[in-house]
């Protein structure tokens, strides 16, 4: 099945005159095709960034809490405190980042 660009090229060749409107449509279709090539990239980047901001602080807090508990002999307390602080930090930054992205979409 011929694409929109193929149809426009056929029309331009048949008419032997370059219609500015058809030229505009053809360029618009080419630009759209260029943009459609990586339509998924911003969403994937955002997903990976947000996933990293959820997991990295919590894993770092858990690791740090385990090490501190082993060093000071306070088995679950420092682990829970450091994981809780990491969770609050992670969620607060995530809320800030999501609100910033929504403001970009509103513009």
Tens of pLDDT along 8-28? 566 556 555 455 555 555 555
CB 3: neighbour CB atoms within 10 A? 10
Provide the pLDDT for residue 19: 55
CA pair distance 95, 50, nearest whole angstrom? 10
The percent of residues above 90 in pLDDT, for the chain, comes to 43
The pair of three-digit structure tokens given for residue 107, joined into one six-digit string? 């513009």
- Interval 57-76: pLDDT, tens: 999 999 999 999 999 999 89
Question: Do residue 86 and residue 102 come from a single domain?
Answer: yes
Q: Is the pLDDT of residue 45 over 60?
A: yes
Of the pLDDT bands very low, low, confident and very high (cuts 50, 70, 90), residue 101 is: confident
User: Looking at the structure, do residues 24 and 60 belong to the same domain, yes or no?
Assistant: no
Domain that includes residue 23, residue range: 4-36
Domain co-membership, 29 together with 49: no
User: Do residue 46 and residue 23 come from a single domain?
Assistant: no
Q: How far apart are CA 93 and CA 81, in angstroms?
A: 18
52 shares a domain with 32 = no
Number of structural domains (the chain) is 2
92 and 48 both lie in a single domain: yes
Shared-domain flag, residues 31 and 46: no
Give yes or no: residues 83 and 49 share one domain. Answer: yes
Residue pair 51/93 in contact by the 8 Å Cβ criterion: no
Q: Does this model's pTM top 0.75?
A: no
Per-residue CA distances from 89 to 9, 64, 66, 96, 97 (Å)? 56, 15, 18, 11, 12
């Amino acid at each position: 099945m011929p694409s929109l660009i193929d149809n426009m090229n056929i029309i331009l060749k048949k008419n032997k005159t370059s219609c500015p409107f058809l030229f505009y449509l053809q360029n618009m279709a080419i630009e759209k095709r260029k943009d459609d090539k990586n339509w998924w990239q911003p969403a994937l980047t955002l997903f990976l960034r947000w996933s990293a901001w959820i997991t990295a602080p919590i894993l770092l807090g858990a690791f740090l809490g385990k090490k501190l508990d082993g060093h000071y002999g306070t088995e679950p307390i420092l682990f829970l405190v450091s994981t809780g602080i990491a969770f609050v930090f992670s969620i607060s930054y995530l809320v800030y980042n999501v609100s910033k992205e929504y403001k970009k979409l509103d513009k």
